[in-house]
Amino acid sequence: MSASNSSLPRYEIKFIAESFEYHRVLNWLRQHHSCLQIEYPDRQVNNIYFDSLTHHSFCENIIGSSSKSKVRLRWYGASKNPVNSSLEIKCKRNQLNWKLIYKIQGELGAEGWSWRRVFSEIHRQLPLEAKEWLEMSPQPVLINRYVRKYFLSRDKKVRVTLDRDLDVYDQSRKSFPNYSLKSNLPKVLVLEVKFPKELRDHVVHTFGDIPLRGSRFSKYVSGFLSINS
């Protein structure tokens, strides 16, 4: 049975920039007075987003529900097939975010698996409470991939991530995973500042001079809109 864990509730503040601003944003982070340090090397992030047949998670985001959740399978690295992945239930209540995480062993789809087979293997490895989450969101809607850079404050309490090269692949009404046809998604940078709830006032003050516009940007919502436009 898969081991599970959950992250502590935290705030996540997002900022959006045009892709051509990458080096300007990077220089600002490197020179920031909080002494941000590279946490570890850049890596490719891959996600399969699941939703209900009525796209309940998408609708929760669009209406701005104060309590919402998303179901995704995440793995890291260049492989297009999920390998040593995790099923993540990302939950949000008001402004606080946390995740329930369930490890999935092995590689999925190495032999051209159908979505039915991928779902079945994920489901097989999950404990009961995670099976229920997946059963409520059984439909693979999209795959997104991007490169993430990681920064950590000197006191190791504030993490900053910078995502670039975001690609989205439509999976709706597909019997097999689609990795060949990308959606027409505007190229943007997504910067997130992540920190525990007790540091809210400190972070708002420390990062108040960030030269980007704040946003409720959701990679799932933007991807969904791009494949349904």
**CATH code of the domain in which 208 resides:** 3.20.100.30
Is the distance from CB of 185 to CB of 168 less than 8 angstroms? yes
Q: What pLDDT does residue 133 have?
A: 97
User: What was the pLDDT predicted at 214?
Assistant: 85
pTM to 2 decimal places:
0.94
SS3 155: coil
Q: Classify residue 77 by burial, with Cβ atoms within 10 Å: 0-12, 13-18, 19+.
A: exposed
Q: What are phi and psi of 126, to 5 degrees?
A: -90, 150
* Full domain range(s) for residue 36: 4-227
Single-letter amino acid, residue 70: K
Q: Tell me, what's the pLDDT at 4? A: 64
- Predicted pLDDT at 1: 44
- Residue 66 near residue 94 (C-beta atoms within 8 A): yes
pLDDT at residue number 75: 98
pLDDT attached to residue 213: 80
User: Whole-angstrom Cα distance, residue 177 to residue 170?
Assistant: 9
Domain count, the chain: 1
Output the pLDDT for position 32. Answer: 84
Positions of the chain with pLDDT lower than 50, given as ranges: 1
- What sign does the CA torsion over 129, 137, 102, 188 have? negative
